[in-house]
Amino acid sequence: MANRGGFTNKLGFILAAAGSAVGLGNIWKFPFEVGDGGGAAFVVMYLAFCFLLCLPVMVTEIAIGRKTQRNPVGAFKALGYKNWAFIGFLGILCGVLILSFYNVIAGWAFGYFIELLMGNFEIGNNFSEFTSNILKIGLYSILFMGATAFIVSKGISGGIERAAKMLMPALIIMISCLVIYSFTLPHAIEGLKFYLIPDLSKIDGNAVSGALRQAFFSLSLGMGALITYGSYVGKNDNIVSSAVYITLTDVGIAFIAGLMMFPLVAFNNMGDMTNLQSGPGLIFVTLPSVFGNIGPVLGVIIGAFFFLLLSFAALTSTVSLLEVPVAYIVDEFNVRRARAVILVATIIFIIGLPSLLGNGYSDFFSNAFTIPFFSDQPSSSDFLSFMAGTADTLLLFGGFFIVLFAGYIWKKHNLDEEISFGYANYKNSFARILINLGVTVVGPILLFLLFIVVVLNNFFGIDLIQKIF
Ligand code: PFF
């Protein structure tokens, strides 16, 4: 096999994996999920899922990758379990689906950066006009896919790691400046109260399953992205501590994004947090007018800064999404990296066309599906939202099979042995108990149950959790 390359050191890996984790999921999705799911109550559930369930899954993915030094499909084959390679195929499918719509939203974010740079604060009121302007958003999304492809074509240390080393520190500095600024605005405190004081009445099946799906999506789990990145990690690195740093960075940035967002919204609504614009509109509809209210010069600076930040965060994630199918083609078919990148990026862009067209330009794709399928109150959903919902449900399914495989097929002692490289004391550690429990008991049971809950809820309109409790 040709030299696959690798991360130069542990920090390079942590930054690249944290870059994959931190993305639109943290800055665009997390705040509105919190808003919909009961504020702080949602945050507490989310944190519990991240550390008790997702962390063991993350370590397992990295361990499988490092042990085999292969892409997700090749990894299961290399371990000698050809029949389990379907998990890898499922992961690649998820990666392709996610990137196909994610790139569209990332293109919007980049487009907003340009619009705000030109002082167009009205863009929020014209969001649907913007998303139906196919020439504009088509161009932005081609640019975004092009930037992603360029980075991935440069390989692991020269492309992915290098980009993460520039973009991640920039992102952390930018978001910190924005938080400090948003705290100084009038009514910041009302926004923070909404964000930080739990409303237990909002916890239902939707909120619980939403918290787990959000955790999985945000940590880039369940589709082999971390098997792939793990395959480029050195044998002497401690993968448990790496996983803890990655999780802390991801959770930290999501939390900080909320600290930034809600004071801005409260400022705009003069402290009234009742009729919030929920869903995707929170960022694309509400924020531009907030920036407009800040004033013409400062508003342009802060607004453009914000959407540039969002674009940076998205870019380190699209890179990891593209790397999964690219690694598969490079490893398994011996195709040169640059060729594989062009091929895969083009195919994914084409698969993304319905999502690109489905926000106003094409009537058909804008109302493509009526979900839940068998419910009394179905509502029509655009193609992009449908893809997003389907892909993050599939991640739970993928995660379920990964832990099942590690716990019962590959077996705990092999997992333990791989994790022990770079962590001599692992066998006597608390982490081992958590991880073993995660892959044998907590993970398989919880992921299976929640997968069923989510499928019934999303696609059939049945709220199982509310029915039981
Ligand atoms: N974690 C990314 C986010 O929160 O935006 C999305 C993502 C990237 C999911 C890579 C899955 C993945 F493999």
Q: How is residue 380 annotated by DSSP?
A: E
Q: How much distance in Å is there from the Cα of 190 to the middle of ligand 1?
A: 31
Amino acid letter for position 330 = V
Tokens found for residue 141: 């999304």
Q: What is the mean pLDDT of residues 391-402?
A: 93
Which of 26, 103, 217, 324 should be mutated for ligand 1, with most atoms under 8 A from CB? 217
Confirm if 33 and 42 have CB atoms less than 8 A apart. Answer: yes
Q: Which atom of ligand 1 is nearest to the CA of 317?
A: 8
Tokens found for residue 239: 């993968």
What is the per-residue pLDDT across 318-363, written as a single tens digit (0 to 9) for each? 999 999 999 999 999 999 999 999 999 999 999 999 999 988 788 8
| Beta carbon of 124 within 6 Å of any ligand 1 atom | no
Confirm if 423 and 240 have CB atoms less than 8 A apart. Answer: yes
Q: What is the mean pLDDT of residues 264-275?
A: 80
Q: Per CATH, which fold does 10-354 belong to? A: Hydantoin permease (1.10.4160)
Q: How much distance in Å is there from the Cα of 219 to the middle of ligand 1?
A: 6
Q: Lowest-confidence range among 92-106, 186-200, 360-374?
A: 360-374
Q: How much distance in Å is there from the Cα of 53 to the middle of ligand 1?
A: 17
Distance CA 448, CA 443 (A): 8
Tokens found for residue 404: 């099942």
Residue 334, phi-psi category: left (phi > 0), alpha (psi -120 to 50), beta (remainder):
left
Band of residue 34 on the pLDDT scale cut at 50, 70, 90: confident
Q: How much distance in Å is there from the Cα of 391 to the middle of ligand 1?
A: 11
Q: How much distance in Å is there from the Cα of 220 to the middle of ligand 1?
A: 4
Sketch the domain layout of the chain as residue ranges. 10-354
Tokens found for residue 426: 């692992």
Which of 220, 309, 315, 316 should be mutated for ligand 1, with most atoms under 8 A from CB? 220
Q: What is the mean pLDDT of the chain?
A: 90
Which residue(s) pair with 371 in the sheet?
379
> Which is nearest to 64 in space by CA: 425, 418, 442?
418
Q: What is the pLDDT of residue 196?
A: 85
CA 359 from chain centre, in angstroms, equals 21
Band of residue 379 on the pLDDT scale cut at 50, 70, 90: low
The pLDDT of residue 378 is above 70: no
| Beta carbon of 24 within 6 Å of any ligand 1 atom | yes
Evaluated on CA atoms 46, 41, 178, 128, the torsion sign reads positive
Q: How much distance in Å is there from the Cα of 251 to the middle of ligand 1?
A: 13
The pLDDT of residue 279 is above 70: no
Confirm if 231 and 155 have CB atoms less than 8 A apart. Answer: no
Which residue(s) pair with 369 in the sheet?
381
Three-state DSSP state, 381: strand
Band of residue 377 on the pLDDT scale cut at 50, 70, 90: low
